[in-house]
């Protein structure tokens, strides 16, 4: 099977410099969703029809398995499919999809293609309470499809038909080539209608089969930010529904956004307003507090992430306690039972089992051993304005509050750093190292008094 994706429409109603099919649903361009469906169907060839301003689309989404056909000017859907014909093979089936109908589902398309078979024309249709704007499916007394009439060409009686054309269809390439070579533009819009091929197929006694989608949302097109937002919510609701089916507890399924892939173990609980981006894995028993943003991260079993934490490209082990207000940046690897508390930032660092940084710290480019305690206000000074250096903190170290570790520097196993230390040389294992000035009190000191 070969797939044609129509994506030449300008999308003026978006009022955006970004071409319509690059507008995102769940963090990815609409066209990317449609391409994913085409690839899941194992299409032998995928041809995207793009238009004026569409070079950006081509630059951004080009891939070795894609062919691109430029449609300029845009003279209608039939004319659009015509531009793809040089890329299609006689003997194959062509499935027509739309770059601005992003939620189309693979099971629905599989049913459509199977129902049509090798010779018939398959149409995806839906019944709408309000069919305004759509092409209507006209059937004879026996219920066979005879024609599609566009709203603007339809009589009042035809407009009462509620079964509409979604635009998605499948037909043998050779037939499509023949039909499209013969369509005209003598209609209310002066366009070459793809839908005119239906009447031609009927005239040639080619059977037309219709299939309905699993969900109406799959067939909805996006022409405005309003519709983009509506589809985003529908898509998120579907994702939330799947998570619930898998046994994930969502405190409010209407308040979660998954922009990528979220893989959950058993008994995972997610509180409201969390955003998941890229690939996120939550092992058994993980709980995520409200208002967390988590991207490309793996979280071990039983770990608790408290509200307002921001975790990016991080791996953490089991039974950690994270946040509230924790931030882990790319390259963070936490062992098991690690505690990262409020206003603690970890970047490109490894923190081994049972270590804790509970309050207000920055740990960057560091290797932290096991059972280390990092006091409040501790900072690794990893950057001299030009280069970055590593800090090594060995097992069982205790770092007093408000300590600066000026990298490169090493704190030996079991060492203690006194509060307020600015460490510029390695601290020996097992000893107390303090760099602050000694405290003294002035005996007999008097407070100054105001002179008159
Ligand atoms: C088309 C169908 C109509 C159907 C409706 C579903 C035709 C003649 N009519 O309506 O029966 O109910 O879709 O939404 O096919 N496009 C191009 N090049 C063009 C024209 C359109 O690439 O020259 C693309 C658009 O970007 C869009 C899609 O084709 O993705 C449909 O175009 P649109 O104008 O929205 O559909 P209609 O022609 O109104
Ligand atoms: Ca149109």
Is 441 within the bounds of a domain?
no
Scored b (16 or more CB within 10 A) or e, 253-269 reads: bebbbbbeebebbeebb
- Ligand with minimal distance to 185 CA: 1
Q: Find where tokens 């039939």 sit.
A: 78
Is 422 within the bounds of a domain?
yes
Q: Are residues 237 and 208 in the same domain?
A: no
Atom of ligand 1 nearest to the CA of 165: 12
82 lines ligand 1 (CB under 6 A): no
- Ligand with minimal distance to 77 CA: 1
Q: Are residues 309 and 199 in the same domain?
A: no
Q: Supply the CATH number for residue 420's domain.
A: 2.160.10.10
Question: Per residue of the chain (452 residues), what is the pLDDT tens digit?
Answer: 999 999 998 889 999 999 999 999 999 999 999 999 999 999 999 999 999 789 999 999 999 999 999 999 999 999 999 999 999 999 999 999 999 999 999 999 999 999 999 999 999 999 999 999 999 999 999 999 999 999 999 999 999 999 999 999 999 999 999 999 999 999 999 999 999 999 999 999 999 999 999 999 999 999 999 999 999 999 999 999 999 999 999 999 999 999 999 999 999 999 999 999 999 999 999 999 999 999 999 999 999 999 999 999 999 999 999 999 999 999 999 999 999 999 999 999 999 999 999 999 999 999 999 999 999 999 999 999 999 999 999 999 999 999 999 999 999 999 999 999 999 999 999 999 999 999 999 999 999 999 98
Q: Are residues 198 and 233 in the same domain?
A: no
How many independent structural domains does the chain possess? Answer: 2
The pair of three-digit structure tokens given for residue 138, joined into one six-digit string: 């006209």
Instruction: Give the residue among 100, 103, 79 at the shortest CA–CA distance from 31.
Output: 100
Q: Supply the CATH number for residue 89's domain.
A: 3.90.550.10
150 lines ligand 1 (CB under 6 A): yes
Reported as type and span, the H/E element at residue 109 is helix 106-116
> Of 200, 219, 238, which residue constitutes the final position of a domain?
219
Q: Are residues 159 and 97 in the same domain?
A: yes
Is 10 within the bounds of a domain?
yes
Q: Are residues 178 and 269 in the same domain?
A: no
> Of 204, 219, 234, which residue constitutes the final position of a domain?
219
Is 250 within the bounds of a domain?
yes
Helix%, strand%, coil% for the chain, nearest 5? 20, 35, 45
Pair 263, 282: CB distance under 8 Å: yes
Q: Are residues 253 and 206 in the same domain?
A: no
Is 440 within the bounds of a domain?
no
Q: Are residues 215 and 230 in the same domain?
A: no
- pTM for this entry: 0.94
Instruction: Give the residue among 49, 62, 58, 53 at the shortest CA–CA distance from 4.
Output: 49
Reported as type and span, the H/E element at residue 229 is helix 225-245
Q: Are strands 314-316 and 398-399 parallel, antiparallel or unpaired?
A: unpaired
Q: How far apart are the first and last CA of the chain?
A: 98
Q: Are residues 264 and 384 in the same domain?
A: yes
Is 97 within the bounds of a domain?
yes
Q: Are residues 215 and 229 in the same domain?
A: no
Q: Are strands 136-139 and 145-149 parallel, antiparallel or unpaired?
A: antiparallel
Q: Find where tokens 């269809």 sit.
A: 169
The question of whether 359 is a catalytic residue gets the answer yes
β-partners of residue 357 are 340, 374
Residue 326 structural domain: 225-433
Reported as type and span, the H/E element at residue 237 is helix 225-245
Length of the chain: 452
Ligand 1, from 70, 77, 176, 190: best to mutate by most atoms within 8 Å of Cβ? 77
Query: Which entry of 33, 87, 354, 359 is annotated as an active-site residue?
Result: 359
30 lines ligand 1 (CB under 6 A): no
194 lines ligand 1 (CB under 6 A): yes
> Of 219, 241, 256, which residue constitutes the final position of a domain?
219
Q: Are residues 288 and 163 in the same domain?
A: no
Is 308 within the bounds of a domain?
yes
Atom of ligand 1 nearest to the CA of 6: 22
Q: Are residues 188 and 266 in the same domain?
A: no
Alpha-carbon torsion (19, 21, 26, 28), positive or negative: negative
Half-sphere exposure for 188 (CA within 13 Å, toward CB): 8
Q: Are residues 22 and 96 in the same domain?
A: yes
Please state whether the peptide bond connecting residue 324 to the residue before it is cis, i.e. omega within 30 degrees of 0: yes
């Amino acid at each position: 099977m070969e797939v044609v994706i129509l994506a030449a429409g300008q999308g003026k109603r978006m009022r955006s410099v970004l071409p319509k099919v690059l507008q995102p649903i769940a963090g990815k361009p609409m066209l990317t969703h449609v391409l994913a469906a085409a690839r899941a169907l194992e299409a032998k060839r995928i041809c995207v029809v793009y238009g004026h301003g569409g070079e950006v689309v081509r630059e951004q989404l080009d891939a070795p398995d894609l062919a691109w056909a430029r449609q300029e000017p845009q003279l209608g859907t039939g004319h659009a499919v015509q531009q793809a014909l040089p890329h299609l093979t006689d003997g194959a089936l062509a499935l027509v999809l739309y770059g601005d109908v992003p939620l189309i589902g693979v099971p629905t398309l599989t049913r459509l293609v199977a129902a049509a078979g090798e010779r018939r024309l398959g149409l995806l249709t839906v019944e709408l309470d309000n069919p305004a704007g759509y092409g209507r499916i006209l059937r004879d007394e026996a219920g066979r499809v005879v024609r599609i009439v566009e709203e603007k060409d339809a009589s009042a009686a035809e407009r009462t038909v509620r079964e509409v054309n979604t635009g998605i269809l499948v037909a043998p390439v050779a037939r499509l080539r023949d039909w499209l070579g013969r369509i005209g533009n003598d209609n209310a819009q002066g366009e070459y209608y793809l839908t005119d091929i239906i009447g031609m197929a009927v005239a040639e006694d080619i059977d037309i089969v219709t299939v309905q989608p699993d969900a109406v949302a799959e067939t909805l097109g996006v022409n405005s930010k309003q519709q983009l937002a509506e589809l985003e919510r529908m898509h998120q609701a579907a994702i939330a529904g799947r998570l619930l089916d898998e046994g994930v507890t969502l405190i409010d399924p209407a308040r979660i956004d998954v922009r990528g892939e979220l893989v959950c173990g058993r008994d995972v609980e997610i509180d409201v307003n969390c955003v998941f981006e890229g690939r996120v894995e939550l092992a058994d028993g993980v709980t995520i507090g409200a208002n967390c943003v988590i991207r490309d991260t793996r979280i071990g079993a039983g770990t608790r992430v408290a509200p307002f934490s921001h975790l990016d490209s991080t791996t953490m082990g089991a039974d950690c306690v994270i946040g509230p207000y924790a931030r882990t940046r790319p390259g963070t690897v936490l062992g098991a039972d690690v505690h990262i508390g409020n206003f603690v930032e970890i970047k490109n660092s490894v923190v081994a089992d049972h270590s804790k940084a509970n309050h207000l710290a920055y740990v960057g480019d560091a290797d932290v051993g096991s059972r280390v305690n990092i006091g409040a206000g501790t900072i690794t000074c990893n950057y001299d304005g030009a280069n970055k250096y590593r800090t090594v903190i060995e097992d069982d170290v205790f770092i007093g509050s408000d300590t600066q570790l000026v990298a490169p520097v090493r704190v030996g196993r079991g060492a203690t750093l006194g509060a307020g230390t600015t460490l510029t040389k390695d601290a020996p294992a097992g000893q107390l190292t303090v760099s602050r000035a000694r405290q003294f009190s002035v005996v007999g000191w008097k407070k100054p008094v105001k002179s008159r």
